[in-house]
Amino acid sequence: PGPVMAVVPPPPAAGGPEPPPPPLQYSLLLQHLVGEQRRPRAWDPAALGGIPSPPKSEEQKMVERAMESCAFKAALACVGGFVLGGAFGVFTAGIDTNVGFDPKDPYRTPTAKEVLKDMGQRGISYAKNFAIVGAMFSCTECVVESYRGKSDWKNSVISGCITGGAIGFRAGLKAGVIGCGGFAAFSAAIDYYLR
């Protein structure tokens, strides 16, 4: 091996300004690792030893598009709201002391058949309401997200305001404004908790 030669900067010209000192190798390394000259690498699981996935077929792409559509999301929220509302209605009817109560004969003990009938009626009523609210909220959130082209907390707040306002507007303008604000605040709180 030959002798190692050090790089020596040229001597300054007579009467001219001194050239800046050469940058330290540590500084150059930092610029390439964390500075503006750092090049982001494309994440490829196959390069890291992962299992490469085969290209998707047209049927798979069609199913994915259908599952990401607003109609599918609204239908899924409707079914989920129906199930959740029915369970909530049956639960609240189970702990309510007035289930099966007859105002004509307040001292009569209701039969099991009457209690179950009231629980079923309340469960169906809650299920319908939850299904409608779930479908409205999901559909408006999907439409707002498609219109804005972003997926952030503002979508749920806007769709919550639209849904709450539409539900409350049946009782008047004031109820619509209160419903808009309340549902938007509730949506923001849920979105903050989930994210």
- For 15, how many CA atoms within 13 A lie in the half-sphere containing its CB? 0
* Most confident residue range from 4-18, 61-75, 126-140: 126-140
Distance CA 168, CA 181 (A): 10
The dihedral over CA atoms of 129, 134, 135, 136, expressed in degrees to the nearest 10, equals: 90
| pLDDT for position 50 | 60
pLDDT class of 79 with cuts at 50, 70, 90:
very high
184 within 8 A of 160, measured Cβ to Cβ: yes
> Model confidence over 22-46: pLDDT tens digits?
666 767 777 767 766 666 666 665 5
| pLDDT for position 109 | 79
pLDDT class of 137 with cuts at 50, 70, 90:
very high
65-69, 80-84, 107-111, 129-133: range with lowest mean pLDDT: 107-111
Its pTM stands at 0.62
Question: Which residue carries 């959740």 as its tokens?
Answer: 84
Question: In which element (H, E) is residue 170 found?
Answer: none
Sequence spans of domains, the chain = 62-100+108-150, 152-194
CA 166 vs CA 75, 117, 122, 187, 188: distances in Å = 19, 31, 23, 15, 18
184 within 8 A of 164, measured Cβ to Cβ: yes
Distance CA 123, CA 91 (A): 8
Average pLDDT taken over every residue of the chain: 81
Distance CA 123, CA 93 (A): 8
The angle subtended at Cα 111 by Cα 108 and Cα 116, nearest 5°, is 130
> Model confidence over 116-130: pLDDT tens digits?
888 899 999 999 999
| pLDDT for position 82 | 95
103 within 8 A of 155, measured Cβ to Cβ: no
